[in-house]
Structure 1
Amino acid sequence: QISQILQTWKINNSYFVETRAAKHVLESVMNNSFVTVTASFGAGKTATLQYVALQMRDVGYDVLPITNPNDLVKYYNTNKQTLFVIDDVCGTYSINQFHLNNWGLVMERIKVLIQNKHTKIIVACRLQVYMDEKFQSLSIFKTCVCNLQGKQLCLSQTEKLSIANLYLKTEATEIMQYCDLYDCFPLICKLSNDNPKRDIIDFFKNPFSIYEYEIDKLYKRRNNGKYCVLALCVMFNNSLKEQWLTDEIDKQIRKIIKNTCEACNINRGTSRLFLLDELKTLEHTFIKKKQGVYTTIHNKIFDLLSFYFGKNMIECLIRNGDSELIMQRCLLERKDDMDSFITIVPPKYHRMYMQRLIDDWSKGILHCVFNNINMKIPEFRQRFLRYLNTLDISAQKQLALTRDVNNKDTVLLQCCQYDDTLLIQWCINHGIDVNQCNYKGMSPLYISAQEGLTKVVMLLLDNTADINKCTDDGASPLFVACQKNHKEIVKLLLDKKAVIHNGMDDAISPLLIAKKMNHTVIVRMLEENGASE
């Protein structure tokens, strides 16, 4: 499979212009163990990532594309020159807390691995993910950063002309006056090349409005089958499996397909083979197929589709959309710093949206409920809690005892990422074990200490949280508070007589980690309480 991926990259590379940014990233990888490439959508970060990986392969490196940070540890080989390649790290649209946590769990291990000069890691992430304050906790990602939109690396006019010539040939000069309208100029060139029937000037003036116009036209001209399969791509969060349109499928998938057909004004019983034929007609314009899965030709096209159908079929989307789609792409209230392709849920559908979260919760999809982008907003959490309290007591207790289907987290473990004592108190009131740990042995107290949530730490301690409960690798709440420089929490834990020597299994104590991180105030606090090396 890796050889197939690299072969695809090689084909893609035939349309790659070697820019100053690409040369800089390659040089950075040669000279550093960990390199982060960041840019907005369509600016060329994935293409640059693939170019660099192929260049490194040519000089003798094994190139391993991965998605899970645990694979870094799994496939690490001290005797081989290896380049690990990770695209869209920590989320494609907004930061994915679940993925962020996975990186956090192996971060110290990775720091050790890359001390071996044979091992290199290159990651790419969207600029809005990189700029998220939660991303700042992954310090290793900051060691060598290549921002493709920075002054030193952004595309020059000469480079833009080279890209235009590569894709558009004789039409290149016609559009150069519009080349600075969007950061995603390389993507627009590619999309324009993929749509030979377009008016090139209109396309470069407003490329995404062209796609919106095309979708509208499908519906108005009663090409409802094509319209429907685009909607299905959205409902299944840009991962529409071909077998769902050909083979036996479970009731839930069948229901989603039927509901989407109905919302698109075609018969609920429409043949799935007909839908597959319609899907195939959209290949290379909207859709591509890879290993039996249909996705959009670029993530930005999916951004547009999800926004379009969120605006035009919001009820269908809330009821039938994939849980991660609901988590990442719908806001109940407009925010100043929100992405332009976020769907704003109209007020009349707010209760329906919150009920959808409850439904996902009841199915154990806790990570999508409590990492929902709305949950970052205190006012939404208050509204959600009020809605939760309208349910009958037995339903609330059942929800409280539900654990995540993937990592077995309790609701309390999920809630401890927020500085929200009312939410934590709801968990405690409904009988959730305050000492139940996640699969890495992290307790609610440990997580809240790690996040620097003083009020939550106090509430948990007041409700019999084990102050000395350590993770599987031996780290205590005091240790992580010292590591993260959370002074108030360190003082609180010391006042509550936390064991002062509990540290990592490799004998790094709270005092040693505080000294290593140069947290001088905490060092003094620990020493005043009897800590010594």
Structure 2
Amino acid sequence: MGTFSVKVMDLYRKMSKYGIHQKDNMHAQSNPELPLYNNEISKWKQEDSKFVSTNQSVKILKYFDTEAILTITGNSGVGNSFTTKHVALHMLSKGYDVLPVRKPFDILKLQIFQSKEFESLQLLRKCQMHLLISDFTISEKRLIASKYISEEVLKELSDECIQAYDCFPLLCRMSKTWEASKALTFLLNPLSVFENELKQMKSREKLNLCALLLVTIFNNNFDNGLLTDDIDISNRNTLDNILEECGETRGTSRKLIKDHLDTMIGVYLMFEENSYRFANERLFEMTFTFMAKIFLKCMIKHCVVSMLCDKFGLECLDEGRQHYHFFVPSHFENFFYERLLKETDTYNFLDIFDCKQMNDKKYRAPFLAL
């Protein structure tokens, strides 16, 4: 069994230790740590009022008549998290304990689930449901949309428009507070509208753009402590370099940066576990692509190494292109490799040498030649 398999099996043992069981059947004591998650589960219950039962969700619930484990995957924005939370609440009503787990989140990313290493994990592959927006009926999609947008807007959306994006449920949720004309424009062409909003930030609301760039560079997990605690010169220089890239003044108050981050909570961002994150993985992906186009050198220089290895591909590579969000042009390759080389003597060693691209000679040879 490979290292990855061992880690996941160890995770399963730890989950079992913390009381993933049905109280009525197992006659075990409830996990004393579970009350710590009551606030999060309460939020789930509030959100669940907008849940729409679909053929897919009914099928998922039926799995648990005969199976103990189900892995739910799908593209960002299609409703993976919402559906999973609904299922968890259903199991809670049946007498199960529910333990929200955010980390290690990587084990459920779609590309990892499809990897060869994952094939040996029969425990997690035994029952799988991959959610596709194409599996939802048009009437189901319209019913989901009606929970967030007005009937006026919904009537203007053709079936083709509703079918166009995997993340259609997310798009509806994002536009729920907007006036009808803005919501309709966004739903008809969401990528262009979102990119235009970021472009407007670049010219009019630079500190907002800077705040989003920070969350992006820190791989969708920007620690609030970098704005509230004492920081070293290295972190201060990183903040100043990012501020300067966005057209702001070096040395700008960290409190001011925090204020701008806070104004975007509930729109673009959420704040959990003392960190700022994008409201959804799909939002993060779209923002990452935009930022990489505009601030490529800054991102290569400052982003966390795991992002550098996992999200940036090189244009020279032929295989595995579908796994990367942005491709580094040839004239930036040396700069890219120099950053990797700089990080090899730190705790990032495994991120660098165990990444998928390192298996490709076209990627590996220039790096080792430095």
**TM-score, structure 2 normalization:** 0.83
Residue 17 of structure 2 corresponds to residue 36 of structure 1: no
1:106-157, Cα deviation, whole Å (9 max, x unpaired): xxxxxxxxxxxxxxxxxxx344333333322322222111122297xx2111
| Preserved contact between residue 43 and residue 183 of structure 1 (Cα < 8 Å) | yes
Whether the 8 Å contact between 1:241 and 1:294 is mirrored in structure 2 is yes
Q: Does 2:355 correspond to 1:344?
A: no
**Where does residue 94 of structure 1 map in the other structure?**
none
The alignment of Structure 1 onto Structure 2 pairs a total of residues equal to 332
Q: Deviations over 1:450-497 (max 9, x none)?
A: xxxxxxxxxxxxxxxxxxxxxxxxxxxxxxxxxxxxxxxxxxxxxxxx
Contact 2:312 2:326 in 1 (8 A): yes
Give the letter for the 1:160 counterpart. Answer: K
Distance 2:306 2:112 in 1: 16
The Cα shift of 1:194 comes to 4.8
Structure 2: distance between partners of 1:315 and 1:8: 39
Residue 268 in 1 paired to residue 250 in 2? yes
Larger relative helix fraction: 2
Q: 1:281 to 1:198 in 2, by over 3 A?
A: farther
Aligned to 2:148: 167
The runs of 5 or more residues in structure 2 that have no matched partner are 1-35
* Inter-CA distance 65–280: structure 2 relative to 1 (3 Å threshold): closer
Partner of 1:155: 136
Q: Is 1:23 aligned to residue 5 of structure 2?
A: no
| 8 Å CA contact retained: 1:307, 1:341 | no
Among 38, 44, 51, the alignment partner of 1:3 is 38
Question: CA, structure 1 residues 332+322, in 2 after alignment: closer, same or farther (shift >3 Å)?
Answer: same
Aligned to 1:315: 297
**Cα distance, 1:201–1:7 mapped onto 2, change above 3 Å:** same
- Aligned-pair identity (%): 27
Shift of 1:291: 3.4
Q: Gaps spanning 5+ residues in structure 1: where? A: 70-87, 91-124, 388-533
Distance 2:357 2:337 in 1: 10
Aligned to 2:187: 204
Residue aligning to 1:501: none
Which residue, out of 320, 332, 338, partners 1:355? Answer: 338
Q: Which residue of 1 aligns with 2:174?
A: 191
Q: Does 2:338 correspond to 1:364? A: no
Structure 1 residues 193, 373: CA separation in 2 closer, same or farther (over 3 Å shift)?
farther
Give the AA of the match of 1:263: E
Q: Higher Cα Rg: structure 1 or 2?
A: 1
Q: Which AA in structure 2 matches 1:232?
A: L
Read off the aligned partner of 1:49 and give its amino acid letter: T
Mapping of residues 271-282 of structure 1, within 5 Å = 271-282=253-264
Q: Aligned equivalents of 2:101 and 2:318: distance in 1?
A: 34
Q: Contact 1:327/1:368 (CA < 8 Å) preserved in 2? A: yes
Aligned to 1:109: none
Which of 115, 118, 122 matches 1:139?
A: 122
Question: 1:20-419, aligned counterparts within 5 Å?
Answer: 20-67=55-102, 88-90=105-107, 125-149=108-132, 154-170=135-151, 171-177=153-159, 178-196=161-179, 199-221=182-204, 223-333=205-315, 335=318, 338-339=321-322, 342-387=325-370
Tell me how far apart the structure 1 counterparts of residues 319 and 142 of structure 2 sit (CA, whole Å). Answer: 34
Question: Aligned letter for 2:244?
Answer: E
Contact 2:76 2:280 (C-alpha < 8 Å) held by counterparts = no
Tell me by how many angstroms 1:374 deviates. Answer: 2.4
Tell me the amino acid that sits aligned with residue 241 of structure 1.
D
Closer, same or farther in 2 for the Cα pair 1:166/1:320, shift >3 Å? same
SS at match of 1:225: helix
1:58: how far off?
0.5
1:38 alignment partner AA: T
- Higher RCO (CA-CA < 8 Å; seq separation 6+): 2
